Amino acid sequence: MFTGIVTDIGEIVALTPTAQGQLHRMRIACSYDQTTIADGASIACNGVCLTVVASGVEGGKTWFDVDAAAETLGMTTAKHWIKGTRLNLERALKIGDELGGHIVAGHADGIATILKRDDLPDMARFELRTTRELARFIAAKGSVTLDGVSLTVNTVEDVTFSVLIIPHTLTVTTLSGWRAGSEVNIEVDLMARYAARLSEMK
């Protein structure tokens, strides 16, 4: 489990397609202490929970290897990742950690497309579109995770919604690089999903 609070920005330094393109082995450089990264650990990369298969230090920089399988490549932006891609990183939540965002599984539900970016004084407003299936779980003032970042929904209209990004978030995540036409990973709020399911069962 995660909270959607980014703790580092990593960079893909090597990417090797294997299994006829159905599996990508990625090496991600980061600032985490390598001694704290165990094989099998979960790290959310742009909102996608991936399992560490190896880690080490090279040139004074920590790296860890992960595999993105066919399903991940098929339904997330991981299919577009290349060497040099920067990723929002978050370590798995530990018992006793502060829950600063909201409960995030790290299981991206799909992709949202940025329709518009408005730059405001020290802030940015983004309008995005997602599928009708996912849009029903998005509500004004509710929570949504975009590229691994816990955000509050500003407005909603049919399958489009907007978020307002504060200066701190623009500084410590990759969101400052978002542009109209960009695709981002989206995970809807678990509570909204369960509420919808309970309503369906009545």
**Amino acid letter, residue 50:** L
- Give 132's DSSP letter: H
Q: What's the number of CA atoms in the CB half-sphere (13 Å) around residue 129?
A: 6
Write down the pLDDT at residue 202.
64
How confident is the model at residue 180, as a pLDDT? 97
pLDDT of residue 33: 97
Position 113 pLDDT exceeds 80 = yes
Q: Residue 66: its pLDDT value, please?
A: 97
Distance CA 191, CA 78 (A): 26
Q: What is the pLDDT of residue 75?
A: 94
Residue 101, pLDDT > 90, answer no
Token reading at 138: 């998005």
Q: Among 40, 48, 44, 112, which Cα is nearest to 78's?
A: 48
Burial class (CB in 10 A: 0-12, 13-18, 19+), 159: middle
Tens-place pLDDT, residues 154-177: 999 999 999 999 999 999 999 999
Mean pLDDT along residues 65-82? 95
With pLDDT > 90 as the criterion, what percentage of the chain qualifies? 80
**Does the pLDDT at position 126 exceed 90?**
yes
Burial (CB < 10 A; 0-12, 13-18, 19+), residue 173, is buried
- pLDDT for 103: 83
